[in-house]
Amino acid sequence: MMGPAHSLSGAAAWLGVGAAAAAWGYSMPWPVLVVGALICAGAALAPDLDHKSATISRAFGPVSRLLCEIVDKLSYAVYQATRSAGDPRRSGGHRTLTHTWVWAVLVGAGCSAAAIWGGRWAVLAILFVHLVLAVEGLLWRAARVSSDVLVWLLGATSAWILAGVLDQPGNGSNWLFTEPGQEYLWLGLPIVLGALVHDIGDALTISGCPILWPIPIGRKRWYPIGPPKFMRFRAGSWVEMKVLMPVFMLAGGVGGAAALGFI
């Protein structure tokens, strides 16, 4: 799928988690619901860090472009080192390592660890990166005609304000993980979810997605998971724009209302 649909699906997924958490007695304070949805929307763009033409490659100027090149080469090297006899030859690393559950879990766990051990500045950095990506995905038309610096300033300002809101007693810095020193441990959850939602979205397209690597399926270790081929679509097609995106918006609205106790 394309960036806007990925981000919208990420936000909707977190709002759905908020509804489920409320039903199970772990209601999210509204700042956790809002910040988690924005982080998840941003994280849903991150697996395309292996593609030099993706939204994330442009989001942070030369830094993200360089990082995309490094991740693409790393992903290709891992593919070459682990592919089975049934896996095809490739010329690049797109839709390999960063499109797996392993990557999603490692990145989410790394961000949670950074939030715990790195303190406030690590939390601000995590929020900044994902809020910039959320703006690029959810407000992509406005972001593309705006200066990168303006988008970065919006991300930095929003990160500072939202961190301050979360730090207030009862606003959710210690949501779900309540022991002293576990503030913001939950930040990894929307990051994992966003990456997995991205992978599931890509699995719906013609190429499929190797979400289950390194678990072998048949003769392939990088098996492209997906529905039957007649149910798949091309990225950016009318199915994505006219069907899936309105569904994501409706699902997110219902999930958010349920999470906040309105329905």
- Domain ranges, ordered by start, for the chain: 3-260
CB burial of residue 89 (10 Å; 0-12, 13-18, 19+): exposed
Q: How high is the mean pLDDT of the chain?
A: 92
Distance CA 20, CA 65 (A): 37
Q: What is the pLDDT of residues 67-93, one digit of tens each?
A: 999 999 999 999 999 999 899 998 888
Q: How many CB atoms lie within 10 A of CB 149?
A: 9
Distance CA 180, CA 168 (A): 15
The residues with which 194 forms a beta bridge, in sequence order, are: none
Q: How many CB atoms lie within 10 A of CB 91?
A: 6
Q: What is the pLDDT of residues 121-133, one digit of tens each?
A: 999 999 999 999 9
Q: What is the pLDDT of residues 158-216, one digit of tens each?
A: 999 999 999 999 999 999 998 988 999 999 999 999 999 999 999 999 989 999 999 99
**3-state SS, residue 169:** coil
Q: What percent of the chain has pLDDT over 90?
A: 77
Planar angle of CA 248, 136, 75, nearest 5 degrees: 90
**3-state SS, residue 205:** strand
Q: What local confidence, expressed as pLDDT, does residue 58 receive?
A: 86
Q: What local confidence, expressed as pLDDT, does residue 240 receive?
A: 87
**Is the pLDDT at 144 greater than 80, yes or no?**
no
Q: What local confidence, expressed as pLDDT, does residue 146 receive?
A: 66
Question: Torsion over CA of 115, 116, 117 and 123, rounded to 10 degrees?
Answer: 20
Q: Is the pTM of this model over 0.75?
A: yes
**3-state SS, residue 180:** coil
Question: 221 and 96 in contact (C-beta within 8 Å)?
Answer: no
Planar angle of CA 247, 249, 250, nearest 5 degrees: 65
Burial 178-197, CB ≥16 within 10 A → b, else e: eeeebbbbbbbbbbbbbbbb
Residue 220 DSSP one-character state: B
**Is the pLDDT at 1 greater than 80, yes or no?**
no
Q: What local confidence, expressed as pLDDT, does residue 2 receive?
A: 84
Distance CA 194, CA 204 (A): 16
Q: What is the pLDDT of residues 212-253, one digit of tens each?
A: 999 999 899 999 999 998 888 887 788 888 899 999 999 999
Distance CA 59, CA 173 (A): 27
Amino acid occupying residue 62: P
